[in-house]
Chains A and B, each alone.
Chain A
Amino acid sequence: MVEIDLNHIYKKYANAEEENSYAVSDFDLHIKNKEFIVFVGPSGCGKSTTLRMIAGLETITEGELKIDDELMNDVVPKDRNIAMVFQNYALYPHMSVFKNMAFGLKLRKYEKDDIEKRVKYAADILGLTEYLDRKPAALSGGQRQRVALGRAIVRDAPIFLMDEPLSNLDAKLRVSMRAEIARLHQRLHTTTIYVTHDQTEAMTMADRIVVMSMGEVQQIGTPQEVYVTPRNKFVAGFIGSPSMNFIDVTYKDGVITDAEGLKIAVPEGRAKILEKQGYNGKQMTLGIRPEDIHAEEAFSETWPNSVVEAEVVVSELLGATSMLYSKVDGTEFVAIVDARDYHKPGEKVKLSFDINKAHFFDIETTLAIR
């Protein structure tokens, strides 16, 4: 049983002379026992810095870090009982897999029998039993990464911190290791904080996602929450692949238009909200996910006022679906449609915007209008 509290954490580096130049600002999060939390964001957003502050590898400038209600700000890394897996994992070249996994335990003066039991258990979970006598040079990249995970498992620490552990693996291996880490969490139930810049990893593995940008938390929520109800334009654009389409529009009396000639009706319910929030006659950003732009006739017949005639600029057939990079006059967007609705570049296609699923963002604050 372990719970982690990050109470208004700030990080400022010694060489940052400006008063408000924080690498991490006001990071506030309660992590529940057994939770799998993913910190996600572009490089430099502060996610690894936050993880390193939890590990004790970076000092905390302001705020409190508590593990099971115990203040940890000044506790040295080795006394935090945390196991870490890094992006670039090295192994001792002259030690066998067994010794690599056992070394940390030996230094912590664990009993020999206990060490053997723990290493064999971890090797069994990770499918490394037959490789225990091998040296790292005789292992593949995936096997070496498993040994790195094994070194964390044998510690039996109540908290795992993982800093982009799959970034150095090739795409295929990354997918299989992703599933392996998820399975591992289901089996061990260790409270895990996982850092990645890959939103797919975040969406597929997390119980909750913390989306970060420029040192600040943008949104905390389940994968479903951050995908369906993004708090602001950044989250909306970062989560989802391909990214959400953004078009600057003006709303007026139930219709949105843009400077390039796009004109779409807004369903009554959405229109009421926009008007209630004082956006009638104002500019805003329309956000619509590629899968919410449809090419099916049935959809355009039901919502005739949401149809635009677009020209396909680039099209990609992906098997079950097609990606149509299209434009209406100067407005460009991408739609994911059924493979049967594949169109060649240069062809005209009628596309319907499902405005009920669209998002509107304030042009200044970039916050979602709800």
Chain B
Amino acid sequence: MVIDQLLKMYPSAKVISVPNWKDKTIVNYRIVDQWISIEKNELDSQQIELLELLSDHNEDETTNHWWQFLNLRSSNIPLVSKKIVKIKVIQFHTTKLESRDLAQQWIRAFSSFFNKVIDTFWVTSEYGILILSDSEIALDNTELISMIQLVDEDFGTKTEAYVGQSWNLNEELPEIFELEKCIFEQNDGDAVSNLSSDVISFMFNQKLASEKLFIVLKNTITSNSEYIAMIRSLYSNQNNIAKTAKDLYVHRNTLLYRIDKFNRETGLNLKSMDDLVLCHLLLC
């Protein structure tokens, strides 16, 4: 509604998907999750101030140059060593800390696990960013979970982190980061997530999860809690029957019997990877 009014008020106003910061004749504002550009000559200084107030930026939000760049508030790529071609962004969300000093200690403790930290900062009192050089040794999820557990134990926090992919440091990065942010926002409580772990369920939930067909199918496969455990275990064991049977502490033949029973009841054959992936998605 605000956007509609602005479009009416300013003839040059346009809703855009990506702001063009290089064009100095226009101003860009993010309002109610949409970008709008207006020609500068249509605005006086008071109107500019008013639009600043209307635009979506949390008052706690940082003025850090990385954050400004990643969120299209500035077109300037932050200066880094020429050796750094690619970076990865770790986003984290944690419990609000009691004081600014404690928050600074928290972020220092968390970043001490990484060797190639380019920058680290709080965006809000609960959300922060770690910018790593691509040459940082890749840590697996288990290691990251244990680091988070350690920091959480010491600071009494509960943290979730999203480990971004390595991306070229260029003007395409903000758009990529926008999606990484969206994926992280949909994290349902995993201490550590990344593109591989979350993208399929993210896409599924964005596009298909609300379709009647999938709702009915989901209800069918979740009618028995035994089935839920079986699907999750089969998926995490890449459909290996022996490992899944061991995991679930059932005999291999019992597991095969349950897979057949599931097949009879749902028409889905969990021995087929396609059907198993579909069932896994329905449980996401």
Contacts and interface: CB of A to CB of B under 8 A. Distances in A.
Contacts, number: 83
B271 interface: no
Contact of B155 (A86, A89, A107): A107
Interface in B127-179: 142-143, 145-147, 149-150, 152-156, 158
Interface string A90-126: 1111110000000110010000000000000000000
B140 to A, nearest CB: 10
A90 B105 contact: no
Contacts of A44: 229, 232-233, 247-248
A173 interface: no
Contacts of B147: 90
Contacts of B49: none
B113 A90 contact: yes
Contacts of A213: 249
Given A42-B248, A104-B154, A238-B249, A90 B143 contact: yes
Nearest to A216: B225
Contacts of A41: 249
A93 to B, nearest CB: 6
Given A86-B149, A93-B112, A215 B249 contact: no
Given A88-B142, A93-B113, A107-B105, A18 B150 contact: no
B233 A43 contact: yes
B223 A92 contact: no
A17 B249 CA distance: 25
Contacts of B105: 107
A89 B150 contact: yes
B247 A43 contact: yes
A105 to B, nearest CB: 9
Which of A21, A22, A88, A237 has the largest count of B CB atoms less than 10 A from its CB? A88
A88 B143 contact: yes
Interface string A332-364: 000000000000000000000000000000000
A16 B283 CA distance: 8
A44 B226 CA distance: 11
A78 B189 CA distance: 19
A327 B105 CA distance: 64
Contacts of B102: 107
B188 A92 contact: no
Interface residues of B, number: 35
A18 B223 contact: yes
B109 interface: yes
Nearest to B249: A42
B218 interface: yes
Contacts of A214: 225-226, 229
A57 B158 contact: yes
Contacts of A88: 142-143, 145-146, 149
Contacts of B228: 21
Given A43-B247, A213-B249, A91 B150 contact: yes
B121 to A, nearest CB: 20
Nearest to B223: A18
Contacts of B113: 90, 92-93
Interface string B69-105: 0000000000000000000000000010000001001
B153 A21 contact: no
A369 B65 CA distance: 71
B146 A86 contact: yes
A319 B29 CA distance: 78
Nearest to A43: B247
Contacts of B156: 76-79
B87 to A, nearest CB: 21
A102 to B, nearest CB: 10
Given A17-B218, A78-B156, A92 B226 contact: no
Contact of B150 (A17, A43, A57, A90): A90
A15 interface: yes
Nearest to B105: A107
A84 B153 contact: yes
A237 B251 CA distance: 11
A14 B146 CA distance: 24
Contacts of A76: 95, 156
A238 B284 CA distance: 30
12 contacts: A15-B284, A17-B222, A18-B222, A42-B247, A44-B229, A57-B152, A78-B156, A79-B156, A95-B112, A107-B105, A214-B229, A237-B249
Given A18-B225, A213-B249, 18 more contacts: A17-B219, A18-B222, A18-B223, A41-B249, A43-B233, A43-B248, A78-B155, A88-B143, A90-B113, A90-B146, A90-B150, A92-B109, A92-B112, A93-B113, A94-B112, A103-B109, A103-B154, A214-B229
